[in-house]
Amino acid sequence: MTATALGRRAAALLLAAAALTALGTATAHADSPSGWVGTGTSSVSSLTGGEGIASRADGSLLTRGLGSIPLRLRVTGWNHVGDPDIAGGYVFDAYQGGDSATSKLFEVTTPAGQTYDYTHPLDAGELLNNSFATVSPDAQWLVAGEWNTVDRLQVFPAPLTNPSTPATGGALAQAAPITLDRSVQDVQGCDFVSATRLVCASDDAAKDVLQVDLAHALDGTAVTGRVSTLFQVPRSSICTGSFETEGVDYDPAARLLRVEIVSPSVCAVATTVYTYRPATG
């Protein structure tokens, strides 16, 4: 998402929040194919939850939105926060700057509340967008995504939790990427379901939820990912216009998959979270 688009989003959310004090959310939630069954919906404030979600160990949700960006980061140019992840109590956030940015930022918050910043200077051909951060089950590798139509997902040593990274923040270099067997469009978030499987939310025209099966668990070497389509995020609102798919989260303890979508127009004040469980097992 560009800085111009971010400005429009922030302005729209502020106007909607001022004009709309109560919003009824749709409850229709069809069962979905490919192994996931819908179980319900909830809503979060788009200002603080419209960019992403992550499940804590106690089952509660961490949310991120444009209003979640700390002032200390905003004043230095980091104007977008992506879909976060939590691994072992450590929170991983993905930040991006404006249209002229030459780096991206990953911030880790420890269980004790300390924060450490890791900056990645853009490599040749790399897009500035930093749509999400998700950490492998062994907490050694961080997967991130760009924007537009891409045929890869980026991989980094997980900041702080991978001992190859600086212990108190610093520079972060890419490892070998996940090369996808087909292109994907506008991936807003991914989360690990297992060491070799991710589920991702795409803001393509169909609002697809995708599955990426890795040839092997991440180890810093090149790996291929086979992409398949699981289902589409429902689009149901009292408002009309364009929806935007956002974050995705898999809670392994509860075995619940959650996917976010932002409604159009003034209804963008609230983000709907759809919840799914495995159809079998």
How would you label 116-154 residue by residue, b for 16+ Cβ within 10 Å and e otherwise?
Answer: bbbebeeeeeeebbbbbbbbbebebbbbbbbbeebeebb
HSE, CB side, 13 Å, CA atoms: give it for residue 224: 4
In this prediction, residue 280 carries a pLDDT of 82
Q: Which parts of the chain fold into alpha helices (H)?
A: 3-19, 46-49, 71-74
CATH number of the domain within which 253 lies: 2.115.10
Amino acid symbol at 21: T
In this prediction, residue 9 carries a pLDDT of 55
In this prediction, residue 27 carries a pLDDT of 38
Residues of the chain scoring pLDDT < 50: 3, 11-32
Counting the structural domains of the chain, the total is 1
Other C-beta atoms within 10 Å of 18: how many? Answer: 10
Beta-strand runs (E) in 111-207: 115-121, 133-135, 141-144, 149-157, 170-171, 178-185, 187-194, 197-202
Beta bridge partners of 133: 144
In this prediction, residue 17 carries a pLDDT of 43
* 241-259 pLDDT tens trace: 999 999 999 999 999 999 9
In this prediction, residue 2 carries a pLDDT of 56
HEC secondary structure over 198-257: EEEEECCCCCEEEEEEECCCCCCCCEEEEEEEEEECCCCCCCCCCCEEEEEEEECCCCEE
Full residue range of the structural domain in which residue 7 is found: 3-278
Alpha-carbon distance 95 to 78, whole Å? 6
In this prediction, residue 164 carries a pLDDT of 97
With a CB cutoff of 8 Å and minimum separation 6, the contacts of 34 are: 211, 228, 229, 230, 231
Alpha-carbon distance 281 to 279, whole Å? 7
Q: How far does CA 275 lie from the centroid of its chain?
A: 15
